[in-house]
Homo-oligomer: A and B are copies of this chain.
Amino acid sequence: MARVNDHYLKLRASYLFSETGRRVREFQAAHPDAKLIRLGIGDVTQPLPAAVIHAMHEAVDEMARAETFRGYPPETGWDFLVEAIARHDYGERGIKLAPDEIVVSDGAKSDTGNIQEIFGPDCVVALSDPVYPAYLDVTVMGGRAGNADANGRYDRVVYLPCTAENNFQPHLPDRPVDLIYLCYPNNPTGAVLTRAALKTWVDYARERNAVILYDAAYEAYIRDGEIPHSIYEIEGAREAAIEFRSFSKTAGFTGTRCAYTVVPKELQGRSGSGEAVSLNALWVRRQSTKFNGVAYVIQRGAAATYTDEGRRQVKGLVDHYMDNARIIRDGLEAAGLTVHGGRNAPYIWVKTPGRLSSWDFFDKLLNEAHVVGTPGAGFGPSGEGYVRLTAFGARAAAEEAVERIKTRVAL
């Protein structure tokens, strides 16, 4: 039989969401009348903005006529979308990007995973702890994680703990690393990095020749004017960072699939023979060989988020979720809980009361309030002692969840 990629066999079963799912199903079977409020999964619930709907209908009609039909898209994105991204997401913040530094794709999950492919197998990866689980899984699958111990910690990964003690801002690595995943606003903690903190990372990466893989999928949720939306707001970042963005959480595209990745021309890696190699050229080559671009109809929908009407509607969506976040955060604080995040991010990171474990507090919320969260320990050891709640539900659900936690949960 053909040999398989043995690194895949080092993956741990994706315990977190299967185990929460199992507990929820068991609870539901025992309490069929209980009306659950699901604040566990980070999926949006509000419809697509009207401007996006309108643009997609128009684009579908274009595909119905030979004169306006579109075949293969440019593998890195249609000009109309790439130019809108450069102008609005970057130009308006004073960041100048060339159109061919922006590569449109079907999702930040695809890109943050596939990006490792352009790097050598020996690159050392640094991950925050807690962390979005896919970053770790793709590191394992690419053979860069090494072997796991009994607690699921891999011996080649450099973990960067994010705890209340360091205000959920990781310290710089204590040994050499090549690739550093940073996600801000953060999933799961809801933390953000100040300009000064982000500059520390950019300076570190430049000095040590590391590459920052900056996941800015939640940048639209930033309220504080002092917090950078893009890593390229920091001087020198063009030589140090790849940035990932998505329309998923901004414009409700989780089921519509469009994202993009920025790889500046200055950014370089090193070949085995010591030569500098453009990472932009490698990423474009990867995408044009193993990907065929995003559907025309979808790209037209994404571009509509940059019209005046689209921008108003996107802002309305984000405001809606951030009002949920405020309601949850304020409500839980009023109930006496310690709460992080939720100010510049759609995630609320709730300290478990009375030294309860993540899973025990998850069970308590489920059993007493019929509210589903996600145990922080599932995102990594430093997530122990927390539960993540998301703001992506309906308003009534956020209000009802808070009311139930206040009145039904013995804290």
CA separation between A44 and B72, bound complex, in Å? 8
Is A175's CB within 8 Å of the partner chain B? no
Chain B binder among A146-154, A187-195, A281-289: A281-289
Is A321's CB within 8 Å of the partner chain B? no
CA separation between A117 and B2, bound complex, in Å? 12
Within 8 A of B (CB), among A244-277: 252, 254-257, 268-272, 276-277
Is A197's CB within 8 Å of the partner chain B? no
Chain B binder among A48-56, A337-345, A352-360: A48-56
A209 CB, min distance to chain B CBs, angstroms: 5
| B53, B64, B291, B292: the one within 8 Å of A47 (CB) | B64
Contact B60 A56, beta carbon cutoff 8 Å: yes
CA separation between A137 and B293, bound complex, in Å? 17
Contact A107 B9, beta carbon cutoff 8 Å: no
Contact B72 A47, beta carbon cutoff 8 Å: no
Is A35's CB within 8 Å of the partner chain B? no
Give the chain B neighbours of A65 by CB distance below 8 A: 47
Chain B binder among A82-90, A108-116, A377-385: A108-116
Chain A interface size, under 10 / 10 to 19 / 20 to 34 / 35 or more: 35 or more
CA separation between A9 and B276, bound complex, in Å? 12
Q: Which residue of B lies closest to A259 (CB)?
A: B292
Known: A2-B123, A179-B2. A290 touches B256 (CB 8 A): no
Contact A69 B47, beta carbon cutoff 8 Å: yes
Give the chain B neighbours of A39 by CB distance below 8 A: none
Give the chain B neighbours of A298 by CB distance below 8 A: 295, 297-298
Is A182's CB within 8 Å of the partner chain B? no
Contact B138 A289, beta carbon cutoff 8 Å: yes
Most buried by B among A46, A64, A107, A210: A64
CA separation between A114 and B291, bound complex, in Å? 9
Q: Which residue of B lies closest to A296 (CB)?
A: B255
Known: A113-B289, A137-B289. A50 touches B64 (CB 8 A): yes
Within 8 A of B (CB), among A270-329: 270-272, 276-277, 279, 282, 285-286, 289-298
A65 CB, min distance to chain B CBs, angstroms: 6
Contact B45 A63, beta carbon cutoff 8 Å: no
Contact B289 A141, beta carbon cutoff 8 Å: yes
Within 8 A of B (CB), among A1-53: 1-6, 8-9, 11, 43-48, 50, 53
A78 CB, min distance to chain B CBs, angstroms: 10
Contact A256 B296, beta carbon cutoff 8 Å: yes
Is A122's CB within 8 Å of the partner chain B? yes
| B61, B114, B269, B295: the one within 8 Å of A3 (CB) | B269
Given contacts A5-B119, A45-B71, 8 further A-B contacts (CB under 8 A): A2-B123, A2-B270, A4-B277, A8-B118, A45-B66, A106-B291, A106-B294, A257-B292
